[in-house]
Amino acid sequence: MTQPSEIDHKHAIKGTEVFVGGLPRTISEDKIRQEFSVCGEIVEIRLIKDQNGNLKGFCFVRFSTKEAAGRAVREKSGTLLEGKSIGVLPSIEHNALYFGNLNKAWSADEFEKLVLQVFPDVVSVDLPIVKDIQPGQKPRNRGFAFVRFSSHAAAARAQRVGSQPDFRLGNLHPAVQWAEEDPEIDPKELAKVMTYSGYPNN
């Protein structure tokens, strides 16, 4: 057994955590540890549950090094776990927001333009696109995105704006919440956006 790392989550190096989506609702922490330990030493696994204690289908895995987290993103996206294709993205810590309830017809460029029109200090926009589409179908996004800002303060300002009931992005009111905290995402909506297989592999 690997000994616990000297790096605990309070002093964790930025960039060492990944977001894992599309998980089976019956997955165990041991199974996730077994799958991801080949990428490097795991410091912490946080399986996200709803208020009834049921798994929401995603988790956060923190490694002891950035290299291990990078390897997990590169090598584990699209992996089958208990029959479900999972997606792995860098977990965006305290300078990024999760955007849900997006128009699935938006392209990455369209979404980025909308975000840049509304929010200053945006560093990057990650809108996962559905890979497995039928011939003749237009590309679609998966209905959610991660937007990284230049600082926690910039992200906090954007989160306050995005949380207002009258906030609109295009013609929609997206769900805007902290990417690193346990997001209160509707389980049905989460299941819907997580059913498509294949995150973009960078």
CATH of the domain at 103: 3.30.70.330
Per-residue model confidence as pLDDT tens for the chain (202 residues): 333 333 333 335 678 888 888 899 899 999 999 999 999 999 989 888 777 888 888 888 999 999 999 999 999 988 899 888 888 888 765 688 889 999 999 999 999 999 999 998 898 898 988 877 777 778 889 899 989 887 777 888 898 999 999 999 988 999 998 875 444 444 444 444 443 333 333 3
Tell me how far apart the alpha carbons of residues 134 and 94 are, in angstroms, rounded to a whole number: 37
Q: Would you give the end-to-end CA distance of the chain in angstroms?
A: 32
State the chain's maximal CA–CA distance in angstroms.
52
Last residue of a domain, one of 59, 90, 121: 90
pTM of structure: 0.47
What local confidence, expressed as pLDDT, does residue 92 receive? 61
The reply to whether 174 falls in a domain is yes
Domain stop point among 90, 117, 143: 90
Examine the fold and report which residue of 90, 118, 134 is the final residue of a domain before the chain moves on: 90
Strands (E), 108-180: 122-126, 145-149, 175-178
| 67 and 100 both lie in a single domain | no
Same domain flag for 173 and 131: yes
Q: Which domain holds residue 169?
A: 96-191
On whether the CB atoms of residues 42 and 112 are closer than 8 A, the answer is no
Which tokens hold the place of 77? 């996206």
Sign of CA pseudo-dihedral 60, 63, 65, 67? negative
Q: What type of residue sits at position 116?
A: L
Helices 66-76, 29-36: axis angle to 10 degrees equals 100
- What is the per-residue pLDDT for 142? 87
